[in-house]
Chain A
């Protein structure tokens, strides 16, 4: 870019403020859930047969008898120190557990994002090329199917065909047992760890296990990215400057690269960020089906065990990532696009 590029700090600051407010409200929601739950932490700590005085004593020690603003302040303070409580199911601090499982989710969602971004942008471009043509119709049906399939069911079907029947892909989990228990997965990113280990076959095995969950997770997002890209390009293509460019004899490829893409990039960036955030969220279901040891499976295991600290911890990790990705993108798009200021 040739012209001097100045980021409008005021816009950026306002965006960050909005994001901080949203995060605070998210905390308020999880706090409200932890207060409204019928699961009584004092009773859980003491068991059903505790005396009334021991119960009152425990409630006081856990700070449950304080008024709610005070409890919320204490809750926020603990979170800011990285203290998410102890998970009952693992006996470990929730923050520690989440550090172990988050890379797996991040890896899965990021790869799915790459697949859906490339496929979605390409399909969106193709269908906007000749709107209402044959290709557009096919793309429209594919994206309709993608956004109507329950991801967890698609996962089961994929496992059935490509793993159990055809043996094309690895089964549930991140690696075959032979690798899973011999390799050191210290970074938590299975591709990185198997690559560094140098064990023959481990890296390929990691890919074999990744392929199905990534594709299943991407299936939903592809439809979304395609539809939004198509809509963005078509609404821009109807404008007069495009007609002018065409009248001047610019070729379609030139119009696309020089006129349409620069004017739609903010929108497309937003779509991709929204998709990434929703993929982090959607990973919950796909992880459960594929026994993928990420935040999602951690959450569903905690849900079945009614492990409140783990449920809220996992919710906060995914929720905060979601809010931060959306907030940063929004601020960035506003800062880059003078029309939105």
Chain B
């Protein structure tokens, strides 16, 4: 088995962030949203490793809890866009005809939509919150998987092994999920890792604009927005959550790079 340092590094970053987010209740030294106005805007110290924010809340605790909405959003979007996209693509590629024309027409149209702007408009019109933010990003992010699955399915349709499965009476959804889907997995993994980096950034942007989870819940994008008013005096308040978003996005991007290299036979 070949290995890729990029994929390993990216995977390690993601595992670390996930573990910190899951263990937040045990790791966080203070409550993430209990204000303590006596200790406002303290610089990092032994008592507060990353200092305190404008309401005296411990930044380290908020950072740990703040990973949760971001990861939840990423997971929700991934859990929605991949099945929707793959199903549309496999059905289009396998059955062909007018079904294919309609599905791929829709795919191409949604692919040409501006993602961030539509997500902003969606949340702006339907109300802020985690679920709406996830739906907003989901709306425009599935087409890449549909294209990928359709291309794979079309190449497979003429293959002997699919013919063999059909002759044994395996048809319909069992054929698609059991025999076509596995061929779509490698491409999907690379695409997913790449997309998730973008979704981390989009989620942070929604939070920054006040369209994601609402205060006092800790969320990294929201914390940057709160810190941005104080950036000239207490720079770390905006710098720390920004760095965390950066690290998480790097993790996904590295994983994508590594998976692509592993899947590419021309590599080394």
Chain A bound to chain B: yes
Which residue from A37, A160, A322 sits with its C-beta under 8 Å from B125?
Answer: A37
A25 CA to B110 CA, complexed, in Å:
9
Residues of B within 8 A of A164 (CB): 231-232
Interface residues on A, range: 35 or more
A156 CA to B221 CA, complexed, in Å:
13
Residues of B within 8 A of A18 (CB): 108
Which residue from A145, A149, A281 sits with its C-beta under 8 Å from B117?
Answer: A281
Say yes or no: is B235 at the interface (Cβ < 8 Å to chain A): yes
- Provide the B226-256 mask, 1 if CB < 8 A to any CB of A, else 0: 0010011001001100100110011001100
Listed stretches B59-67, B161-169, B200-208; interface member: B200-208
A144 CA to B194 CA, complexed, in Å:
11
If A38-B126, A306-B124 touch, whether A150 touches B117 (CB-CB below 8 Å) is no
Shortest Cβ distance from A132 into B: residue: B268
- Provide the A152-166 mask, 1 if CB < 8 A to any CB of B, else 0: 110011011000100
Say yes or no: is A202 at the interface (Cβ < 8 Å to chain B): no
B120 near A153 with CB under 8 A, answer: no
A238 CA to B266 CA, complexed, in Å:
10
If A159-B231, A160-B235 touch, whether A150 touches B246 (CB-CB below 8 Å) is yes
Say yes or no: is A312 at the interface (Cβ < 8 Å to chain B): yes
Residues of A within 8 A of B205 (CB): 150-152, 285
If A22-B109, A148-B249, A149-B246 touch, whether A311 touches B197 (CB-CB below 8 Å) is no
If A144-B250, A150-B205, A300-B209 touch, whether A318 touches B124 (CB-CB below 8 Å) is no
Which residue from A144, A157, A315 sits with its C-beta under 8 Å from B118?
Answer: A315
A160 CA to B224 CA, complexed, in Å:
14
A319 CA to B115 CA, complexed, in Å:
9
Residues of A within 8 A of B112 (CB): 22, 322-323, 326-327
The distance from the CB of B70 to the nearest CB of chain A, in whole angstroms, is: 11
Say yes or no: is A33 at the interface (Cβ < 8 Å to chain B): yes
Shortest Cβ distance from B257 into A: residue: A144
Residues of A within 8 A of B54 (CB): none
Number of A-B contacts (CB under 8 A): 131
**Chain B 109-136 interface residues, beta-carbon cutoff 8 Å to A:** 109-110, 112-118, 120-127
Residues of B within 8 A of A104 (CB): none
If A144-B254, A164-B232, A285-B208 touch, whether A26 touches B113 (CB-CB below 8 Å) is yes
Given contacts A151-B205, A277-B114, 9 further A-B contacts (CB under 8 A): A18-B108, A33-B121, A37-B125, A148-B197, A148-B246, A148-B250, A150-B249, A318-B114, A323-B113
User: Nearest 9 pairs between A and B by C-beta?
Assistant: A153-B242, A148-B249, A322-B114, A315-B121, A37-B125, A303-B124, A33-B125, A148-B250, A311-B124
18 contacts between A and B (CB under 8 A): A22-B113, A25-B109, A30-B121, A149-B246, A150-B224, A150-B249, A152-B208, A153-B224, A153-B245, A156-B238, A156-B242, A159-B231, A277-B114, A289-B228, A303-B209, A311-B120, A311-B125, A323-B114
Interface residues of A (CB under 8 A from B): 18, 21-22, 25-26, 29-30, 33-34, 36-39, 144-145, 147-153, 156-157, 159-160, 164, 238, 277, 281-282, 284-285, 288-289, 299-300, 302-304, 306, 308, 311-312, 315, 318-319, 322-323, 326-327
Interface residues of B (CB under 8 A from A): 105, 108-110, 112-118, 120-127, 197, 201, 204-205, 208-211, 221, 224, 228, 231-232, 235, 238-239, 242, 245-246, 249-250, 253-254, 257, 266
